[in-house]
Amino acid sequence: MSKAVVLGAAGGIGQPLALLLKCNPLVKELSLYDIVNTPGVAADLSHISTPAKVEGFLPADDGLKKALTGADVVVIPAGVPRKPGMTRDDLFKINAGIVRDLATGIATVAPKAFVLVISNPVNSTVPIVAEVFKKHGVFDPKRLFGVTTLDVVRASTFSAEVLGDVSLAPSISVPVVGGHSGVTIVPLFSQSSHPLPKDFSESSLQALTTRVQFGGDEVVKAKDGAGSATLSMAYAGAEFATKVIKALNGEKGIVAPTYVNLNADKEGGDALKKEIGKSLDYFSTNVELGPEGVAKIHTLGKLTSFEQGLIQTAVPELETNITKGVSFVETPK
Ligand code: NAI
């Protein structure tokens, strides 16, 4: 049983994510922190007849410190979401500072907690958390994760649609690697548990790949200025948090794609760098989770030439995003 903390808990993602965590029997304590409304959200959730004890905190009276004390898992969906026409990178200006300040709190109060970053741009916010932890001398790459699960969830759902049977969606598993924005999102349909139809053309594969890469835009457009994915993200975030909590509790063999620092498993990380032909510090790939966090970084395995092309396109953009996050902490602007 674990203590889970949500930072940004009153937001579009934060509230349904908190609801799902409150319903998770592995969660013993749930702390909700935001700059607004957490007392109300916590009071509301606290009436649900599940074991987790819920408390809400605001910045006043050392709220962040109180929320984080004793945390095992900290999930961060704090920050502004996209509006139509915006890329995730456009959010950097505001979200980078928010994530840096929250990371400072975690590094000080709960340096051993597993940190799950949802706030965009994930490709840059994860390096920001790492740099803050390094500054405090507490960085353990095994305990830091960028949440890319929504890309995985979308790949399963859209594959099931292509296969003409939406009831298959929960059992379809497609590794999605690279990063979490546009062309850095690389679904490996050739490794799907449920292969695409034999006569699936290259142009259909391109269209399906683009749909996974830019699936978030469908939601941003449909919400028409009212934000980006929140409910599907809460589902995805809760799925990933549950996997991390299960691994923390000793369950073996849990593997999930997530954006990690490749030093978390030197052997696996080095092999992956060789595969992609570039010494990046961060990449999303299948990761085996254990009680200490990252247990093993899986390599990409056999790729089609189409997938190799996607990786080659992803790498330079990912490199720029990573550098942007790292230099923000070194020289904040
Ligand atoms: P939202 O605006 O509905 O909620 C954000 C919450 O963060 C608000 O309640 C706000 O008060 C809070 N907040 C702002 N500054 C804070 C601070 N310093 N400390 C604590 N809380 C603070 O936004 P939404 O839709 O929940 O999205 C949140 C983030 O998640 C965005 O950056 C969005 O781009 C990202 N996102 C990530 C996805 C992923 O796949 N990783 C998918 C969808 C969204």
Helix residue ranges per DSSP H, the chain:
14-22, 38-46, 63-68, 92-109, 122-135, 149-162, 202-213, 215-223, 231-248, 266-276, 305-330
150 lines ligand 1 (CB under 6 A): yes
> Cβ distance 200 to 222 under 8 Å?
no
Q: Please answer whether residues 127 and 326 qualify as being in contact, where contact means their C-beta atoms are separated by less than 8 angstroms.
A: yes
Using CA atoms, how far apart are residues 329 and 107, in angstroms rounded to an integer?
14
- Look up the pTM and report it: 0.98
DSSP type of residue 198: T
| 95 Cβ inside 6 Å of ligand 1 | yes
Q: Please give the angle made by the CA atoms of 51, 43 and 111, to the nearest 5 degrees.
A: 65
Q: How far is CA 242 from the centre of its chain?
A: 13
CB 116 within 8 A of CB 73: yes
Q: What is the DSSP letter of 33?
A: E
Pocket test for ligand 1, best of 31, 65, 80, 149 (most atoms within 8 A of CB): 80
Which residue has its alpha carbon closest to ligand 1 atom 5? Answer: 11
Q: Is 180 a catalytic residue?
A: yes
Which atom of ligand 1 lies nearest, measured to the CA of 78?
Answer: 7
Task: Identify whether the C-beta of residue 95 lies closer than 8 Å to the C-beta of residue 32.
Answer: no
ipTM comes to 0.99
Establish whether residue 105 lines the binding site of ligand 1, counting it when its CB lies within 6 angstroms of any ligand atom: no
pLDDT at residue 32, rounded to an integer: 98
Cβ-based neighbours of 16, under 8 Å, separated by 6 or more: 230, 231, 234, 235
Considering the candidates 136, 180, 194, 298, report the single residue annotated as catalytic. Answer: 180
122 touches ligand 1 (CB under 6 Å): yes
Task: For residue range 29-84, list pLDDT tens digits in order.
Answer: 999 999 999 999 999 999 999 999 999 999 999 999 999 999 999 999 999 998 88
Is the minimum distance from the CB of 208 to ligand 1 under 6 angstroms? no
Q: Whose CA is nearest to atom 35 of ligand 1?
A: 119
Q: What is the pLDDT of residues 159-201, one digit of tens each?
A: 999 999 999 999 999 999 999 999 999 999 999 999 999 999 9
